[in-house]
Amino acid sequence: MRILLTGAAGGVGTRLRKLLPPIYPDLVLSDLKTPADLASSEEFIRADLSDLSQVKTLVEGIDGIIHLGGFSVEGSWETILNANIIGTYNLFEAARLAGVKRVVFASSNHAVGFYPRSTTIDTHDLLRPDTRYGVSKAFGEALGAMYAYKHNIGVLAIRIGNVGEKPLDERRLAIWLKTEDLVSLCRIGLEREGLIYEVVYGMSDNKRAWWDNSRALELGYRPTGHSENYADEVLAADAPAGDPIAAFFQGGPFCADEFTGDPATVLKP
């Protein structure tokens, strides 16, 4: 399979670039910026996702896409619109035109950030985005379903928690995703036979999880990271969130950002 990785210069893309080549030797990297540490063995094509003609050229001859490219935190409407809404539309539309068979979409926990930490949710619970960024991920998931059912592209949306070497604070003990486990999820999205459209949570085997990830397990996911191994170290160093909105909701500071709601109405388990 010839696989395209968008967002290859970013934090997650840089990690995946180290693990994907043995699995997918025919790997094409893309981003707005050239990765600083690009090796001569790597194939890189610069493209702006918000420009359909560039994306059309980029996806020619591609079998499967891991779509990480975009604005990865809260931003102005114009920024989110161009990078994530138009960018993701262009990606799926170009994929359809080029006959791409699979797309793995990097969704986010911020598509469901406004659930209390005291609640366990699965992928049947309603979307509750906590930011314009989270709304763009909800849009990407919806777009993925449309392209899957209407245009025969197998789509896996991964609601990524937080990718890193280890969980960095108490919140991330619940949502941490080891890079190797993200690779396993990508492989399900690109290779699992019969996959039409699925949404899973991108987390490792975390004892303090807020998410029921049984659908991922049914699809064959076997996470190897255990955030609890880092719990003592993390909790000793972590300062509790000062803001009551950030402390209450799964989306943490993304929920508190620009919050003008009524705490008495929303702070209910």
Ligand X SMILES: NC(=O)c1ccc[n+]([C@@H]2O[C@H](COP(=O)([O-])OP(=O)(O)OC[C@H]3O[C@@H](n4cnc5c(N)ncnc54)[C@H](O)[C@@H]3O)[C@@H](O)[C@H]2O)c1
List residues binding ligand X (CB under 6 A). Answer: 7, 9-13, 31-33, 48-50, 68-72, 83, 87, 106, 108, 160, 162-163
3-class secondary-structure state, position 126: coil
Shortest Å, Cβ 66 to ligand X: 9
The residue among 69 and 144 lying less far from ligand X, judged by its C-beta, is: 69
Q: Is 190 exposed, middle or buried (CB count within 10 Å of its CB: 0-12, 13-18, 19+)?
A: buried
- Nearest residue relative to ligand X (C-beta): 10
Nearest partner of 189 among 20, 76, 8, judged by Cα: 20
Which of 133, 147, 201, 221 is flagged as catalytic?
133
Cβ proximity to ligand X: between 12 and 155 the closer is: 12
Please name which of 224, 107, 97, 220 lies closest in space to residue 155, comparing C-alpha atoms: 107
Task: Give the nearer residue to ligand X in terms of CB position, either 154 or 161.
Answer: 161
Nearest approach, Cβ of residue 255 and ligand X (Å) = 15
* 147 assigned to active site: no
d(CA 54, CA 50): 8
Minimum distance from CB of 151 to ligand X (Å)? 22
CB of 79 to ligand X, least distance (A): 9
Q: Which is nearer to ligand X, 150 or 178 (CB)?
A: 178
At residue 133, what is the residue type? Y
Nearer to ligand X, 179 or 267 (CB): 179
Q: In the chain, what's the furthest Cα-to-Cα distance?
A: 57
Of 33 and 124, which has the nearer Cβ to ligand X?
33
CB 118 within 8 A of CB 239: no
Among residues 195, 77, 212, 180, the alpha carbon closest in space to that of 144 is found at: 195
Q: How far is the CB of 263 from ligand X (least distance, A)?
A: 26
CB of 105 to ligand X, least distance (A): 8
Could you list the active site residues?
Answer: 133
